[in-house]
Amino acid sequence: MGNHQLASLIKMANQIAANNTHIGDDVAEAKMVADHLRKFWARSMKAQITEYLESDGSELSPIAKQAIVLL
Amino acid sequence: MLQHFDPEKDYGTPAQVSENLVTLEIDGVSVTVPEGTSVLRAASEADINIPKLCASDNLEAFGSCRICAVEIEGRRGTPASCTTPAEAGMKVVTQNKRLGKLRRNIMELYISDHPLDCLTCPANGNCELQDVTGEVGLREVRYGFEGDNHLSAEKDHSNPYFSFDPSKCIVCSRCVRACGEVQGTFALTIDGRGFDSTVSPGQKQPFLDSECVSCGACVQACPTSTLMEKSVIDAGQPEHSVVTTCAYCGVGCQFKAEMKGSEVIRMVPYKDGQANHGHSCVKGRFAFGYATHDDRITKPMIRDSIDQPWQEVSWEEALSFASSKLKGIQEKYGRESIGGITSSRCTNEETYLVQKLIRAAFGNNNTDTCARVCHSPTGYGLKTTLGESAGTQTFDSVMYADAVMVIGANPTDAHPVFGSLLKKRLRQGAKLIVADPRRIDLVKSPHVETNHHLTLRPGSNVAFINAMAHVIITEGLEDTAFIAERCETEAYQAWRSFISEDRHSPENTASVTGIDATELRGAARIYANANNAAIYYGLGVTEHSQGSSMVMGIANLALATGNIGREGVGVNPLRGQNNVQGSCDMGSFPHELPGYQHVADDEVRARFEAVWGVSIDNEPGLRIPNMFDAALDGTYKGMYCQGEDIAQSDPNTNHVQAALRSLECLVVQDIFLNETAKFAHVFLPGASFLEKDGTFTNAERRINRVRKVMPPLAGMQDWEVTQALSNAMGYEMNYSHPSEIMDEIALLTPTFTGVNYDRLEEMGSIQWPCNNEAPDGTPTMHIDSFPIGKGHFAITEYVATEERSTRKYPLLLTTGRILSQYNVGAQTRRTENQAWHDEDVLELHPQDAEDRGLNDGDWVGIASRAGETVMRAKVSDRMQPGVVYTTFHHPGSGANVVTTDNSDWATNCPEYKVTAVQAVKVNEPSQWQQRYHEFNDKQLSFLKEGREKKAKARD
Ligand code: SF4
Ligand code: SF4
Ligand code: SF4
Ligand code: FES
């Protein structure tokens, strides 16, 4: 596992979260983000971001974190 | 469409549409036509062919030559039949002694000032002047050439594709009218009066220096050889023709490829082409020479490393080399370590086959297409809001629009034939709103008034579209009945309260968008109050970090105002390449099987698995940018790339090239050694659109036939190559014709079940969905309901891009296209289109230029956080201060060295339209350019070495 993909994945997850934080209900927002990741991300990408959350996760936004837990 | 009349015939004046029919008698024959039809056309429809010269059925009647004179009972004189409307009860005589004499007198005058070199004239065999002279039976010309004449008028050969020989001109004005009425450029006028009148481009300029855009409409309209294709002058008249579809842009113009044996002599836009109705642009009509260019590669080649010369080999050897490498990689790094890229330039059948190869033979979903980098947000945004990943209208629908909003698109350059149709509607009085940072040509086109040009700041699209919606909702301009009947109530209420918030008002967003609030309010009122309002958008909408949000914002606007589901309205993405729509439809995306069916859906997969005989992975695969990242991380090692040039077209070239270098096996299938192929290990020679059968789907979801007019130079059509690669990989495919592939597509794709080659032959083209519910296809979508039931208002929060101007990078760079070049330019750079644009330049506002001491033509270095390149400066008041612009048609200009890897949040479509840069005056190419030239020279020498070695071995 290298850094290129992980750096991109963190950026993407945060960006997806930022574009879905308008509902004012973080459970619903996290669910929308999780649905998006499930639908569009490859297996390896989901695995890698989950692993990152478990090992560190510091660069992920709060909604992105909550969403990844749901994967 | 069923042909009720012969599409090739020229009926003299345009067809009329009217409920009221009139019946008249022509030469004793009773004829019934719609009211408003000319006598000339009425006769022609009854196969009574009155001679004509200045009339043509794509132009309004002009009545200048008088050769079409007839007698009408009860009327004095001999009226011109082209300008006389048919009336009920009229009795018309088209041939008698008096008319014969009159016509001979007219022709005598024409011929007395016309060179009599018919036998050696390029129009010989295809000249209306000759034909009419024959029809009227002219036998003698009493006036000699002694008097004043035009026989020695000077020729103009400045246009690379056609010549102008004024000595043959009969001043019928057909060219002038074609340039105005059909093309909308108004480059030609008749200069002078009477005997002195001549056709003049611009201000008596040579064609090339005038505002002529070389569409060729005038050449096609000219009844003599005055305006004539140089290819016909050189080769003579063609002997047979085949109808096929243009392989350039998403308009999908149909052409008659006029041939001599297997050589294309000229392309004539097909009158019955349902997207173009006999019109075309310079690319489709003239820029086909690349297909037989010397740079075509016609032999398969292989090499172990990109630091080695190429080796020409047989097809068998190349395919077995490729398959064993790819299989070896999978054994070593796992099933998901390889993938492929389908092409928006290839046919539907070819695209379908590549994704099938990846899913079935590679056993994963690592398939993506270049639509990723252009219209993937359209797919996401329209599917979320309207339920289908496609535009809603036909092109012709624009003729019913009362207000048109063009956002981030440049139709007169990138979709020229649609641009001409749009301009026609605007000349009839439809209102126009343009939202674009740059003053595109449309804003200032002849006889068109732009009501509002909203010069928004790059990156502020969503703030802009939200402000439009805010005005509509807070001023009560929404269509409440449509919303109540056709849209989800809960989502609408949520959106309504979101969009009504004061922070979205034009006044409160002006600091972000840079748009004057009064202008924006005016535009919103025009859009909302028009009976029919239509939105056309391009890559200026999608290629942003919020591309998908913007597409949804556009759909929200159309839903809120009820501008969906009939002619004249809609949400219309203008697709860049010929088959962007098709490549998306055909399952190129890693998460969707053909017909936008998600791979995680068990029922869907089961249907595909039953036909394909393999199991399909239920997880999405990697997208192009993810592939590059994975390649750099060492988990993605092999790739099959058909007909795409990701090394030039994708953003952040340095990153892309590093990823390509890290691959162990890159298989490229293309007609040229493109930029990507320079990093490849296997080169499989492809076929141009002239060498294959198949279909393209244009931006109106119209499936058009592509027909082979010459044999493939390398011996195989692209679908045959994919099939052979699949067989070499051990997954059997044995189609004998692309029609069989289409049958399989129809079997598995619910929106295509009614599509097959016989139906395409019969109807000319079909707009999907075409199935039991819509057996003849669907010109207008969402008439009664949406595929998701009700329209869905999506909340579109504006999130500023991370890419913003700073002290270090104070300018915003945005990229785009130009008329004469196409995409990465691999095709158009190998044609005479170079005469118009032989290098990419950086356009900048006079103030920004002055601040930097830059003049037109100076070398300017452009640097962003991603990289640096050098181009020539072009000072232009089209730009707003702080915004600079360039194109990416030439690889050496390195536009994408500067663009970054920022992308759309939902689809990873790159943010080509916003890059923070600095521009400075320099006097040498950038380091990247120096490295590029070295690498390029080396790769070209590897190609040459391989070819020479093979030639030697053959001797
Ligand atoms: S080529 Fe097209 S633009 Fe040029 S003069 Fe002829 S009609 Fe006009
Ligand atoms: S150039 Fe051709 S079309 Fe134009 S006025 Fe002369 S003869 Fe007619
Ligand atoms: S490039 Fe587009 S507009 Fe031009 S001829 Fe081809 S399909 Fe038509
Ligand atoms: S064709 Fe009718 S006046 Fe020329």
Give the model confidence (pLDDT) of B229-255 as tens digits.
999 999 999 999 999 999 988 999 999
Closest by CA to B769, choosing from B390, B265, B515, is B390
DSSP B750: G
The residues, ordered by sequence, that sit 6+ positions from B793 with a Cβ below 8 Å of its Cβ are B385, B487, B488, B491, B492, B494, B495, B496, B556, B559, B560
Q: How far is the CA of B667 from the centre of ligand 1 (A)?
A: 42
Atom of ligand 3 nearest to the CA of B822: 1
Identify the pLDDT of residue B259: 94
Residue located nearest, by CA, to atom 8 of ligand 3? B253
Tens digit of each residue's pLDDT (9 = 90 or more) over B780-823: 999 999 999 999 999 999 988 888 888 999 998 888 777 777 66
Tens digit of each residue's pLDDT (9 = 90 or more) over B709-727: 999 999 999 999 999 999 9
Identify the pLDDT of residue A1: 42
**Paired tokens of B898:** 């500067």
Q: Beta-carbon neighbour count of residue B598 at 10 Å?
A: 15
Identify the pLDDT of residue B148: 65
- Whole-number CA gyration radius for chain A: 11
Q: How far is the CA of B213 from the centre of ligand 1 (A)?
A: 6
Q: Residue B198: CA atoms inside 13 Å, Cβ hemisphere, count?
A: 19
What CATH number is associated with residue B822?
2.40.40.20
Helix/strand/coil for B819: coil
Flag whether B535 is in a domain: yes
Q: Is B598 in the same domain as B541?
A: no
Boundary (domain end) residue, out of B292, B326, B354: B292
DSSP for B774-805 reads -TT--SS--SS-BTTBSB-PPP------S---
Q: What is the mean pLDDT of residues B815-833?
A: 75
Q: How far is the CA of B12 from the centre of ligand 4 (A)?
A: 9
Q: What is the mean pLDDT of residues B40-48?
A: 96
Q: Nearest ligand to the C-alpha of residue B819? A: 3
Residue located nearest, by CA, to atom 7 of ligand 2? B169
- Cβ-Cβ contacts under 8 Å, A18 against chain B: 799, 905
Residue B576 has phi, psi (to 5 degrees) of: -65, -70
Q: What is the mean pLDDT of residues B767-772?
A: 94
Question: What is the Cα B342 distance to its own chain's centre?
Answer: 19
Of the candidates B498, B620, B629, which has its C-beta nearest A5's C-beta?
A: B629
Q: Nearest ligand to the C-alpha of residue B165? A: 2
Q: What is the mean pLDDT of residues A24-47?
A: 91
Q: Is B387 in the same domain as B454?
A: yes
Residue located nearest, by CA, to atom 2 of ligand 2? B222
Flag whether B269 is in a domain: yes
Flag whether B782 is in a domain: no
Identify the pLDDT of residue B147: 62
For strands B198-201 and B188-191, give the pairing: antiparallel
Banded pLDDT at B146 (limits 50, 70, 90): low
Burial B346-379 (b: 16+ CB within 10 A, else e): bbbbbbbbbbbbbbbbbbbbbbbbbbbbbbbbbb
Q: How far is A5 from chain B (nearest CA, A)?
A: 5
Query: CB A5 to CB B366 under 8 A?
Result: no
- Cβ-Cβ contacts under 8 Å, B908 against chain A: 12
Q: Is B201 in the same domain as B250?
A: yes
Identify the pLDDT of residue B859: 92
B662 contacts B632 by C-beta, under 8 angstroms: yes
> What is the rounded distance in angstroms from the CA atom of residue A71 to the CA atom of residue A40?
12
For strands B859-863 and B868-875, give the pairing: antiparallel
Query: CB B905 to CB A2 under 8 A?
Result: no
For residue B615, what are the CA distances in angstroms to A45, B336, B893?
22, 15, 45
Q: Is B488 in the same domain as B540?
A: yes
Q: Is B608 in the same domain as B737?
A: yes
Is A28 in CB contact (< 8 Å) with chain B? no
Q: What is the mean pLDDT of residues B32-60?
A: 95
Q: Is B173 in the pocket of ligand 2 (CB under 6 A)?
A: yes
Flag whether B779 is in a domain: no
In single-letter form, the type of residue at position B624 comes to I
The residues, ordered by sequence, that sit 6+ positions from B530 with a Cβ below 8 Å of its Cβ are B401, B402, B403, B431
Q: Is B172 in the pocket of ligand 4 (CB under 6 A)?
A: no
Helix/strand/coil for B45: helix
Identify the pLDDT of residue B758: 95
What CATH number is associated with residue B49?
3.10.20.740
Does position B729 have pLDDT exceeding 70, yes or no?
A: yes
Flag whether B8 is in a domain: no
Q: Is B145 in the same domain as B251?
A: yes
Q: Nearest ligand to the C-alpha of residue B179? A: 1
Q: Bigger pLDDT: B910 or B426?
A: B426
Q: Is B252 in the pocket of ligand 3 (CB under 6 A)?
A: yes
For residue B507, what are the CA distances in angstroms to B372, B466, B501, B518, B521?
35, 12, 12, 8, 9
In single-letter form, the type of residue at position B737 comes to H
Is A8 in CB contact (< 8 Å) with chain B? yes
Query: CB A4 to CB B619 under 8 A?
Result: no
> What is the rounded distance in angstroms from the CA atom of residue B433 to the CA atom of residue B816?
20
Does position B37 have pLDDT exceeding 70, yes or no?
A: yes
Does position A2 have pLDDT exceeding 60, yes or no?
A: no
Q: What is the mean pLDDT of residues B29-56?
A: 96
How many distinct structural domains can be found in chain B?
5
Flag whether B115 is in a domain: no
Does position B3 have pLDDT exceeding 60, yes or no?
A: no
> What is the rounded distance in angstroms from the CA atom of residue B212 to the CA atom of residue B345?
28
Q: Tell me whether the omega of the peptide bond preceding residue B711 falls within 30 degrees of 0, making it cis.
A: no
Residue B749 has phi, psi (to 5 degrees) of: -120, 110
Q: Is B7 in the pocket of ligand 4 (CB under 6 A)?
A: no
Q: How far is the CA of B208 from the centre of ligand 2 (A)?
A: 18
Determine which of A32, A45, A48, A50 to mutate to test the interface with B (most B C-beta atoms within 10 Å): A45
Domain containing residue B26: 21-95
Determine which of B905, B907, B909 to mutate to test the interface with A (most A C-beta atoms within 10 Å): B905
Nearest 10 degrees: Cα torsion B295, B300, B303, B304: 140
Residue located nearest, by CA, to atom 6 of ligand 2? B169
Query: CB A16 to CB B799 under 8 A?
Result: no
Query: CB B620 to CB A42 under 8 A?
Result: yes
Q: Beta-carbon neighbour count of residue B237 at 10 Å?
A: 15
What CATH number is associated with residue B721?
3.40.50.740
Q: Is B550 in the same domain as B587?
A: no
Give residues 246 to 305 of B whose Cβ lies within 8 Å of A: none
> What is the rounded distance in angstroms from the CA atom of residue B178 to the CA atom of residue B184?
8
Tens digit of each residue's pLDDT (9 = 90 or more) over B320-342: 999 999 999 999 999 999 999 99
Q: Nearest ligand to the C-alpha of residue B286? A: 3
Q: Is B276 in the pocket of ligand 3 (CB under 6 A)?
A: yes
Q: Nearest ligand to the C-alpha of residue B821? A: 3
Tens digit of each residue's pLDDT (9 = 90 or more) over B176-199: 999 999 999 999 999 887 777 889
Q: What is the mean pLDDT of residues B858-867?
A: 90
ipTM above 0.85, yes or no: yes
Q: Is B85 in the same domain as B132?
A: no
Tens digit of each residue's pLDDT (9 = 90 or more) over B874-905: 999 888 899 999 887 777 777 788 888 888 88
> What is the rounded distance in angstroms from the CA atom of residue B515 to the CA atom of residue B517?
6
Tens digit of each residue's pLDDT (9 = 90 or more) over B646-664: 888 777 888 889 999 999 9
Does position B700 have pLDDT exceeding 90, yes or no?
A: yes
Tens digit of each residue's pLDDT (9 = 90 or more) over B657-693: 999 999 999 999 999 999 999 999 999 999 999 999 9
Identify the pLDDT of residue B1: 33
Over B480-525, what HEC string results? HHHHHHHECHHHHHHHHHHHHCHHHCHHHHHHHHCCCHHHHHHHHH
Identify the pLDDT of residue B6: 62
Q: How far is the CA of B55 from the centre of ligand 4 (A)?
A: 5
> What is the rounded distance in angstroms from the CA atom of residue A62 to the CA atom of residue B609?
40
Q: How much is the mean pLDDT over chain A?
A: 89
Determine which of A35, A41, A49, A61 to mutate to test the interface with B (most B C-beta atoms within 10 Å): A41
Boundary (domain end) residue, out of B548, B573, B598: B573
Q: Is B389 in the same domain as B262?
A: no
Beta strands in B37-154 (DSSP E): 71-72, 91-93
Flag whether B796 is in a domain: no
Query: CB A19 to CB B549 under 8 A?
Result: yes
Q: Is B171 in the same domain as B52?
A: no
Of the candidates B626, B632, B906, which has its C-beta nearest A42's C-beta?
A: B626
The residues, ordered by sequence, that sit 6+ positions from B504 with a Cβ below 8 Å of its Cβ are B463, B466, B467, B469, B470
> What is the rounded distance in angstroms from the CA atom of residue B169 to the CA atom of residue B113?
9
Q: Is B548 in the same domain as B438?
A: yes
Does position B373 have pLDDT exceeding 80, yes or no?
A: no
- Cβ-Cβ contacts under 8 Å, B499 against chain A: none
Question: What is the Cα B788 distance to its own chain's centre?
Answer: 29
Question: What is the Cα B372 distance to its own chain's centre?
Answer: 17
Identify the pLDDT of residue B907: 87
Banded pLDDT at B258 (limits 50, 70, 90): very high
Is A32 in CB contact (< 8 Å) with chain B? no
Q: Is B846 in the same domain as B887?
A: yes
Q: What is the mean pLDDT of residues B840-869?
A: 91
Q: How much is the mean pLDDT over chain B?
A: 91
For chain A, what percent of residues have pLDDT higher than 70?
97
Determine which of B461, B623, B629, B654 to mutate to test the interface with A (most A C-beta atoms within 10 Å): B629
Atom of ligand 3 nearest to the CA of B284: 5
Does position B2 have pLDDT exceeding 50, yes or no?
A: no
Identify the pLDDT of residue B197: 85
Question: Minimum mean pLDDT among B62-71, B638-647, B902-911: which range?
Answer: B902-911
Q: What is the mean pLDDT of residues A26-52?
A: 92
Residue located nearest, by CA, to atom 6 of ligand 1? B218
Does position A3 have pLDDT exceeding 80, yes or no?
A: no
What CATH number is associated with residue B567?
3.40.228.10
Identify the pLDDT of residue B149: 66
Flag whether B934 is in a domain: no
Q: How far is B623 from chain A (nearest CA, A)?
A: 8
Closest by CA to B250, choosing from B698, B808, B734, B837, is B698
